[in-house]
Amino acid sequence: AANEEARKASMQAAVQSVNAALRSGDPRQTVSRLMNPDLQLPPVFPSAAALYHRELGLLQRRAAQGELQQEELFVAVEMLSAVALINEAMVKGNRQQFCSSLVSSSAGLSDVDYTLMDRYSVCLCWGLFRDGQRSDLLTWNQLQEGINEVNSSMQEEHQRKNTFIGNCEQLLSALLAPSCGVEEVLPENISRYLMLLRKAQVRPHGLGGASLWLTDIQEEVRRANQQRQKALKLCLAVAAVNQAVKENRANQTLRVLSLPELQLQRLVSDCANDYQRQLSSEVTQRRRAGDNRSPWVRVRLEDDSYFYFHLSKLEGTWDKPSDFIQNNVFVNREDVQEVVSSVWSSHNRSALWRSNEALIVGLQAACRGFLVRQGVEARRRFLIRQTPAVVVPQAHWRRFVQQRAYRQRLQFLYLNWRAVVKIQSMVKMWLARRRYRARLNFFKRNVGAIIKIQAFFRASRARDQYRMLVHADTPPLSVVRKFLHLLDMGDSDIREEAELLKMREEVVRGIRFNRQLESDLDLMDLKIGLLVRNRATLQEVVSHCKKLTKKNKEQLSDMMDIQKNKGLKALSRDKREKLEGYQHLFYLLQTQPLYLAQLLFLLPPSGSASFMETLVFSLFNYGSDRRDAFLLLQLFTAALRYEIRLKVEQPKDVVTGNPVVIKMLVNFYRHAGGDGALRHILAPALQDVLQDSSVSIKTDPVEVYKTWINQSESRTGLKSCLPYDVSAEEALSHPEVQRRVDIAIINLKNMTERVFKAIISNLSKLPYGLRYTAKVLRDALKAKFPRAREDELYKIVGNLVYYRYMNPAVVAPDGFDVLERSAGSALQPDVRHLLGTIARMLQHAAANKHFHGDGGHIRALNEYISQMHGKFRRFLVSVCDVPEPDERFSMDEFSELLNVTRPVIYVSVSELINTHKLLLEHQETLCPDSSDPLRLLLQDLGSVPTLQDLTGETCSSPVDHGPESALTHEISLTLTNKFDIFNDDVDKPDARGLLLRLASCHDWLVQRRTQQDARTPDKLKRNQSLIANGKLSLEEKKRKILRNLRRLEGLGVLRQDESERQILQMLAKDIRQQRLRRQRRGAELVKLRQTLSSLQTKSRFHSEQVDYYRHYITSCLDNLTKNSKSTNKKTAESKGKKKVPALSYSATRLQEKGVLIEIQDLPSTQFKNVVFDIVPGPEKGSFRVKTRFLGVEMEEFLLQYQVRLHQCSLNWALTWVTQNKHSARHGRSYLYL
């Protein structure tokens, strides 16, 4: 009931909408409302919209209440649709559709005679196409009037025909009379003669009863005879067409259709098959309707007369035979012409469609899509509305049908269950066998593809499972079990661990070997220096011995004093320790950047900033090599993190303040450390901008207005009538000002875009240090302010990268070596204003800062800034996407030990003194711990040295130019590390190595025991032990696992409700860590192999240098000995070959030189009686020293020169101590060096 009410309501609403559309006067709206499915009306044709609207409107006005009901609409629409079909058939020329529609009961037309269809068609088409143009569609009344008119004309014709039959006999007798004189009279044409003569009698004046002459009668007789022949030929041609169609020969049909007697129009020779097909179809349809097998056919001639032809006799007559019945299968000429015209239209239409196939397909697709969507949408709305009423009946009916079919089928199967089982088994067997064989053959044909697919699937599944193992919090048990074998320590792991330990041991030994070589080199270098110095000093002493006077005693004494005039690099122990202390100190400051980072913030920013900047850049050699650049970047980042941690209270403090570190690093990467990055990035774009510097970029309306006024006054020479001082809105009201402002905005955008594209397209040219510092700045701020928005953080990064680093170069490119300018040339003010405006636009884009104002030009600039900020944001994200410095510079814990040469820095004396002083002043803050390396180094250095201690010179020296030059004197320091990281003995047993060897040994023992158990008889095997997990049963293993879980829960390792999940998490974590350990181990092995190779290269270099130094020292000693021997030899020859010592000194003289301190048990007054003789020794670089007391030889000992040089390097005084104990008793003395 509810569904019926809903249907009636929707139908009533649709009827009301139709009545409203009829009153609106829009035919298309009327048709759309009539097509509503709720009305349940017959089909409606949109092409006849005007007909529906006009006729239904008349009915609506005639209705009692002025409204049409659904029943009235149904009857009216049914009739009007039939009328529309009749009109459509007449327009298309479709005779069959016209006939079926005209006699249709829906049309409701009366007195329709099927034999008069042709006359109905001619009459109605004449009414539809008046004056050669199509008029409105014919209404039902017009159709009925046309039918009545044709019927009336036929009745009149029948009456005339009856009258005509009575007059034929009289006419025939008259024409055949000899007195008439008419020739060629045929009796069968008598009716035709009569008709033609009547027409001829009426023709002269349009009046009947006029007399005809004999010639007129003879002419009409001949014409009738000709028409008979023509009609016979036409009938024969039509009969030939029917016969050819019946024989189904297309070529024959085409030849017959081409006969001139048929006079067919629009015949196309390429359409023979189409003619045959359609004519055969027409004949077939008529046969299906019923074949009366009549021999008579009626053929219509050009003058609308009929000729009756007998198909069997091939004869014809003008008079209708008494037994005439039209052969309903015969196709007459009009039907043939209709078929030909239809084929011609189809042929032309297909040709037209082929030429416009793409357009037609598109239109059809669009129309069909629209219609389908429209129908689907209408159906969807209908179904949605009717869902409750449809679902329940459908469900019940389907349930009933299904249950009935199921019960019937079940009963049938119960009755035939044996046959069913047998058939099913046979069919299933056959199907399974066929599927198996087909599948097997398919697999055999595609073995290669199957292997690839399986490999891909397994690899993909393994990757997915491993990804789940790595990323999932609690991976499934199946995944953990699949990768559980990775926890086992295999032979390869043991071998790799052993190899790793061995490589570490070799690396440590190589490092120690290299250090030993370096210490040997240092010692040899010192020996060579002492050798050279002592040799020079001795030569000078010998040359001055003979000239020794009182005047030059002080000069000789100063020459022998080794403590003076040597400075920090003097060859003495104290100076050497001091030098090494400073080398250790500056090495520590280099490699531990936190000390300098703290010192930067402890100093007042006013006077110490310049000194600290100079010291930092000198300490790191301005980042000239890979190591210095790495360490300098470490200092910048450490100082930046330290400042953010201590001084930054909110993120914007970095922008509003002026951090020392940021200023320092920006200056460094802008000049020395940037490698001309600003020039490579900005120079091409700025050069293009400067070439177009004449364009206007003034966007201020008032300024543009004033410029326009000035230009117009200058051009015309007359004062402008416009006011000079106006507001921005008034200025923009002038079209010329608006045009100029728009052009300026476009120019400004274009120029800014050039520079901006140059910046973002040269990301790789930015200095790595600046990019990594930006990354550290972002990460440090994010770590300290986790709630800060990313947009705010990237604004700060943009402030560093653009505003502090690039903006000054954009504003003043000539001041930062971005553009090459000739001497004395400078940028014009207009150019600087242009560059400043571009820089301001870029600065606002980086900070997403809009201009203030509500004008249209301001909004245009702000929209452009917002667009650029998005691109700038992506650029800043890319700027921060850089690798770590360790990866960039390839630095690790062994890098410092692989350098062939030690790092050297050059600092001035003032920098060294001030650094030492600052470190001592802030010692408690920098290194509060007593074991801090910096505190230890400062304790070794002691107090701040004086200028004379470092340079070895005084201001009164004749070569000195004042204390300023001494302070600027540079000292080179070869940096070394005092705190060795390899202090453990490499020969000490390693616990990890022992464990690995023990594990490998245990595996070997287990395998050996397994082999023995395999050879042992069953009776001799040991009983099953519950302790051995490998021999427990499954139930026992389960119980043991549960006991262990309970134990872990009792210890608090696992929670009772989550023990399984925690076990899986721990296993997954161990698997991941094992994988990471293997990866790190592999990477470490590769690194250690490279390190060992570099160490071997360095060892070869040091070994070659040691050999060279040793050879050099040996040659020097040989030369020294040879010179001494040659001198002694010459002296001996000159004195009669007496052996005399090369050098003799008294104890008093040696005491005056500071060589001899004392002689035990001998007073200093007796030193004059003691003489020391120094002669060359038996070996190279050795000397014999003989002592005489009062001419008596007391003692003789051998002196090694290299030992003395080593003692000099340790600052041992050249002191001879003579101990003479019991000289009277033993007669000898002991000398100790």
Hey, what amino acid is at 463? R
Q: Can you give the pLDDT at residue 555?
A: 44
Q: 390 by DSSP, 3-state: which?
A: helix
Q: What percent of the chain has pLDDT over 90?
A: 7
The string of pLDDT tens digits covering residues 264-285 is 888 888 888 888 888 888 888 8
* Cα distance between residue 121 and residue 99, in whole Å: 9
Confidence bin at 900 (pLDDT 50/70/90): low
Tokens 């007559």, residue located: 317
pLDDT at 532 over 80: no
Q: Any idea of the CA torsion for 756, 762, 764, 765, to the nearest 10 degrees?
A: -100
Q: Can you give the pLDDT at residue 674?
A: 63
Hey, what amino acid is at 172? L
* Cα distance between residue 598 and residue 925, in whole Å: 9
The answer to whether 625 touches 632, Cβ cutoff 8 Å, is: no
Beta bridge partners of 1160: 1219
Q: Which is higher by pLDDT, 963 or 1171?
A: 1171
* Cα distance between residue 869 and residue 842, in whole Å: 9
User: Angle 117-128/70-92 helices, nearest 10 degrees?
Assistant: 100
Query: Which residues fall within 8 angstroms of residue 925, CB to CB, at 6 or more apart?
Result: 598, 602
* Cα distance between residue 1119 and residue 1127, in whole Å: 12
Give the number of other CB atoms < 10 A from CB of residue 278. 19
Give the number of other CB atoms < 10 A from CB of residue 43. 11
The string of pLDDT tens digits covering residues 997-1009 is 555 565 566 666 6
Enumerate helices (H) and strands (E) in the chain, giving the number of each. Answer: 46, 14
Q: Can you give the pLDDT at residue 400?
A: 95
The string of pLDDT tens digits covering residues 131-161 is 445 557 788 888 888 888 888 887 776 655 4
Q: Can you give the pLDDT at residue 398?
A: 92
Query: Which residues fall within 8 angstroms of residue 418, CB to CB, at 6 or more apart?
Result: none
pLDDT at 970 over 70: yes
Give the number of other CB atoms < 10 A from CB of residue 557. 12
Q: Can you give the pLDDT at residue 370?
A: 94
Distance of CA 1005 to the CA centre of its chain: 56
Confidence bin at 549 (pLDDT 50/70/90): very low
The answer to whether 47 touches 86, Cβ cutoff 8 Å, is: no
pLDDT at 822 over 90: no
pLDDT at 242 over 80: yes
Q: Which is higher by pLDDT, 1185 or 167?
A: 1185
Confidence bin at 1215 (pLDDT 50/70/90): very low
Q: Where are the beta strands (DSSP E) in 984-1024?
A: none
pLDDT at 991 over 70: no
Q: Which is higher by pLDDT, 711 or 647?
A: 647
Burial class (CB in 10 A: 0-12, 13-18, 19+), 137: buried
Q: Can you give the pLDDT at residue 375?
A: 92
The string of pLDDT tens digits covering residues 906-938 is 788 888 888 888 888 888 888 888 888 888 888
- Show the tokens assigned to 682: 């900005």
The string of pLDDT tens digits covering residues 1115-1136 is 776 766 555 545 444 444 444 4
Confidence bin at 983 (pLDDT 50/70/90): very low
Confidence bin at 304 (pLDDT 50/70/90): confident
Which candidate, 808, 907, 785, 800, places its Cα nearest to that of 847? 800
State which CATH number among 3.30.420.40, 1.10.506.10, 2.60.40.1110, 3.40.605.10 fits the domain covering 621-889: 1.10.506.10
The mean per-residue pLDDT over the stretch 293-306 comes to 84
- Among 177-191, 200-214, 437-451, 782-796, the range of highest mean pLDDT: 437-451
Confidence bin at 953 (pLDDT 50/70/90): low
Q: Can you give the pLDDT at residue 1231?
A: 35
From residue 314, give the alpha-carbon distance in Å to each of 234, 238, 450, 1075.
12, 12, 79, 107
Q: Can you give the pLDDT at residue 224?
A: 80
390 HSE (CA, 13 A, CB side): 7
The string of pLDDT tens digits covering residues 853-879 is 777 778 888 888 888 888 888 999 999
Query: Which residues fall within 8 angstroms of residue 1162, CB to CB, at 6 or more apart?
Result: 1170, 1218, 1220
Q: Can you give the pLDDT at residue 1058?
A: 80
The answer to whether 299 touches 332, Cβ cutoff 8 Å, is: yes
Q: Can you give the pLDDT at residue 695?
A: 73
Give the number of other CB atoms < 10 A from CB of residue 177. 11
* Cα distance between residue 51 and residue 136, in whole Å: 8
Q: 293 by DSSP, 3-state: which?
A: coil
DSSP assignment letter at 136: S
Q: Can you give the pLDDT at residue 368?
A: 92
DSSP assignment letter at 650: S
pLDDT at 1010 over 70: no
pTM as predicted: 0.46
Pairing of strands 1170-1176, 1143-1146: antiparallel
Hey, what amino acid is at 743? I
Q: Can you give the pLDDT at residue 206?
A: 44
The answer to whether 336 touches 264, Cβ cutoff 8 Å, is: yes
The mean per-residue pLDDT over the stretch 754-783 comes to 89
Q: Which is higher by pLDDT, 391 or 542?
A: 391
The string of pLDDT tens digits covering residues 1033-1085 is 888 888 888 888 888 888 888 887 888 888 888 888 888 888 888 887 888 78
Q: Can you give the pLDDT at residue 208?
A: 45
Q: What percent of the chain has pLDDT over 70?
A: 78
Pairing of strands 1216-1219, 1156-1160: parallel
* Mean of pLDDT over the chain: 77
pLDDT at 449 over 90: yes
The string of pLDDT tens digits covering residues 44-85 is 888 888 888 888 888 888 877 778 888 888 888 888 888 888
Q: Can you give the pLDDT at residue 402?
A: 94
The string of pLDDT tens digits covering residues 653-702 is 888 877 888 888 888 888 766 667 888 888 888 888 888 767 777 777 77
DSSP 1074-1099: HHHHHHHHHHHHHHHHHHHHHHHHHH
Q: 981 by DSSP, 3-state: which?
A: coil
Q: Is 957 left (phi over 0), alpha (psi -120 to 50) or beta?
A: beta
